[in-house]
Amino acid sequence: MGAYDFNFNLPSGETFCPSPERVRAISKLLPADNFSTAPRITDRTAWDQWREDSFGQRMLREAREAVRNPSPTITDQVFLDCLKNESVTEYNAMNRATRTQFNVLILAEAIFNEGEFLTQIEADARSLTQVRTWVHPNNDLERKNFEGHAQDNDLHSLHHSMSFVFIHHVLGARISDEFRELLSSELNRRMFTPTRNRIEAGRDMDWWLIVKHNWNSVCLSCYAHAAVAMLPDVEDRAWWVSLTESLACNFTDGFADDGLCTEGVGYWSYGFTHYVLIAEIIRTATGNALDLLDTPKARQIARFADRAEIQPGKYPAFSDCSLTAQPGLWLRSWLDNRRDSQPDSLAQPAPADFDALADIQSVTIDPMLLWMFGTRDPHQPMVRPPAVALRDFFAPSHFLICRSAATTNRKFAATFLGGNNGVNHNHNDLGTFTVLLDGKALIYDPGPEVYSMRTFSVDRYDSQLLNSYGHPVPLIGGKLQEPGPTHQAPALLSEFTDKVDRMILDLRGAYDCPTLRKLEREFICDRRGDGSLTITDTVEFSEPTAYESALITSGEITESDQSLRFADGATAISIEYTADSTKLQVSRDTINQPPHPTRVAIATIEKVSNLTLRFVIRPD
């Protein structure tokens, strides 16, 4: 787990156990039989519809390739090598391959029902039972799980558990009694028993039960799903459903009421996928009596990706969000296609080439099953058109997206971020801004580092990509921004018109600099003509202090007197920079981690007591 993630104890006599009354109420609503997002293999009407579908054929190809060239499952040795070498690279690759292989084999067997993949599935499952722990080594640095002193669960162990759940539930009619019992006993030993014991005791509680990010929804969804699919006793199933119902609010509490996901669209896709899974399990479990998606906030969260699209296919890369992250087509469209619901008034029939399953990677089985069996018509869905609003302003989160108008000559867009440095996957980047022109990001947030043992450790902010050095924000007296929720950048002003959007952030609280009296950053996006962006920093110090701002780009850089040009092929922007009554110097540095963007620093030559530094950015 992360450096600051710790299991916890509740006060004596307190537990998170659902009340007996709630468990009884849920048990009366639950279907008599086990259920899952995936029907059993014996339900040929459900599965046969995918035999000739392009998705079914894709699963068949991938499954046959997995049999021809099987990937080994994770092993104890690769776990130990990870800790010894302080590198997660080999383990992560093998872990991903293990999950992917299970998924394609299970789906191909269920769709085609010919026994072709059962031998490989059983061999892989039996191999996995021999591994001491399924917890990621980065989450077991002291080897407590590996050596049998603890039985924790994390994202990785629970995804492996779900592979066993799907084998047992979906393929149960095609496997032996002994193999089914092995799967069940492993899940009880590794998953259900230790976690329920902790919850009932109120001691050594898993930290993810109460966190405000994707771990909460992912882990809870695995327990709820496994329970309704596996456990024979209806009250046991109801206990886990009730527990999940009571704790899933922690995930949505991590969002402001505006629905902004501070983790970016990649982690939004991951976390919200599993919240959708929780909602659909509970909706089925209660006979549609309880729908966690039928709240104003849940609907705002569900529409986040629609509002966050800066230009077609381009999304903010703040926090640990990949530069290429794309929200799942299926997830963006879920509210308009889920069973027993009505589409939004803006939804319209999807184009003929729309394929919600095509962009789902085989490492993630839950989105596939939800779309295949949880929608009104997976082959003829409804979708909402791309964002066309002049702006999307997430006011509680101080995040602004400005888009060009129909009358703007170029497709010019910009974003501006405030808030605080205590968000999930934080990058210490208050005041960061990006500029896009005709679909190309020319001033940008370079995204996350390649995950390593350091990424979620106490040394996280040694990374130039994760601290403010790798972002277009000031450096004050040589100091970077500080992490933590107390380091904030509130909005002092926000004024929006069809022609011009203006916003001012107070950045003083982002820095621990005793001489800093004032630091305000003004953002003016002008839609007239070709469009332009003006960034103005107004600074005051109690004594002369060095000041530096920066621009981050992966483009080709050209310097001239008091101006810069950033280009990506034929697409380019010009940047004029000026300062009142002081001279500036420009320097460059290559960020020392992929994608190795260039940091262009504009700094005062002498220390200053006050300063107004202005960038005017236009299409070139």
CA distance 86 to 83: 5
Please give the helix or strand (H or E) that residue 543 lies within, else none.
strand 532-545
Domain closes at, from 329, 354, 385:
385
Domain closes at, from 385, 416, 432:
385
What is the pLDDT, as a whole number, of residue 226?
A: 99
Q: Are residues 415 and 379 in the same domain?
A: no
Q: Is 219 within a domain?
A: no
Find the mean pLDDT for residues 128-139: 97
Quick check: 387 pLDDT over 80? no
Q: Are residues 81 and 46 in the same domain?
A: yes
What is the layout of strands, in order, in the sheet containing 584-590? 475-476, 547-553, 598-604, 584-590
Residue 233, both tokens? 């006793």
Domain closes at, from 353, 385, 417:
385
CA distance 379 to 371: 10
> What SS3 class is residue 263?
coil
Quick check: 386 pLDDT over 90? no
Q: Are residues 517 and 584 in the same domain?
A: yes
- Tell the residue number behind the tokens 């309704």, with chain if given: 228
Q: Is 509 within a domain?
A: yes
Q: What's the CA angle centered on 564, arms 561 and 569, to 5 degrees? A: 140
Q: How confident is the model at residue 3 (pLDDT cuts 50, 70, 90)?
A: low
What is the pLDDT, as a whole number, of residue 1?
A: 52
Quick check: 4 pLDDT over 80? no
What is the pLDDT, as a whole number, of residue 396?
A: 92
| 248-270 pLDDT per residue, tens | 999 999 998 999 998 899 999 99
Find the mean pLDDT for residues 407-416: 93
Q: Is 548 within a domain?
A: yes
Give the global pTM.
Answer: 0.95
What is the pLDDT, as a whole number, of residue 193?
A: 98
Q: How many domains does the chain have?
A: 3
What is the pLDDT, as a whole number, of residue 385?
A: 84
Q: Are residues 38 and 178 in the same domain?
A: yes
Find the mean pLDDT for residues 364-391: 93
Quick check: 247 pLDDT over 80? yes
Residue closest to 336 by CA, chosen among 327, 326, 349 = 349
Q: Are residues 496 and 602 in the same domain?
A: yes
Q: Is 14 within a domain?
A: no
Average pLDDT over all residues of the chain: 96
Q: Are residues 163 and 276 in the same domain?
A: no
| 267-302 pLDDT per residue, tens | 999 999 999 999 999 999 999 999 999 999 999 999
Q: Are residues 438 and 458 in the same domain?
A: yes
Quick check: 505 pLDDT over 60? yes
What is the pLDDT, as a whole number, of residue 302?
A: 96
Q: Is 225 within a domain?
A: no
HSE on the CB side for 283, CA within 13 Å? 17
Quick check: 2 pLDDT over 80? no
Question: Count of H helices and E strands in the chain?
Answer: 17, 21
Quick check: 391 pLDDT over 90? yes
Find the mean pLDDT for residues 576-586: 93
Quick check: 412 pLDDT over 60? yes
Max CA pair span of the chain:
83
DSSP structure string for 557-586? EEEETTEEEEEETTEEEEEEEEETTS-EEE
Q: How confident is the model at residue 318 (pLDDT cuts 50, 70, 90)?
A: confident
Residues 32-36: contacts with CB under 8 Å, at least 24 apart: 32/234, 34/169, 34/228, 34/229, 34/230, 34/231, 34/232, 34/237, 35/228, 35/229, 35/284, 36/165, 36/166, 36/169, 36/170, 36/225, 36/228, 36/229, 36/369
Segment among 68-82, 194-208, 359-373, 374-388 with least mean pLDDT: 374-388
Residue 517's domain comprises 391-619
| 340-356 pLDDT per residue, tens | 988 888 899 999 999 99
Q: How confident is the model at residue 388 (pLDDT cuts 50, 70, 90)?
A: confident
Q: Are residues 428 and 477 in the same domain?
A: yes
Residue closest to 199 by CA, chosen among 6, 4, 7 = 7
Residue 441, both tokens? 């990001």
Quick check: 9 pLDDT over 60? yes
Residue closest to 428 by CA, chosen among 478, 464, 391 = 464
Q: Are residues 255 and 168 in the same domain?
A: no
Q: How confident is the model at residue 151 (pLDDT cuts 50, 70, 90)?
A: very high
What is the pLDDT, as a whole number, of residue 409?
A: 85
Q: For residue 363, with 0-12 CB atoms within 10 Å meaning exposed, 13-18 middle and 19 or more buried, which class applies? A: middle
Q: Is 494 within a domain?
A: yes
Q: Is 136 within a domain?
A: yes
Find the mean pLDDT for residues 113-136: 98
* Residue percentage of the chain with pLDDT more than 90: 92
List C-alpha distances in Å: 452 to 89, 91, 134. 8, 11, 18
Residue 382, both tokens? 């409804």
Q: Are residues 297 and 423 in the same domain?
A: no
Q: Are residues 145 and 272 in the same domain?
A: no
| 179-227 pLDDT per residue, tens | 999 999 999 999 999 999 999 999 999 999 999 999 999 999 999 999 9
Q: Are residues 48 and 192 in the same domain?
A: yes
| 481-495 pLDDT per residue, tens | 999 999 999 999 999
Please tell me which residue, 128 or 424, carries the higher pLDDT value: 128
Residue closest to 75 by CA, chosen among 155, 146, 139 = 146
Q: Is 213 within a domain?
A: no
HSE on the CB side for 449, CA within 13 Å? 22
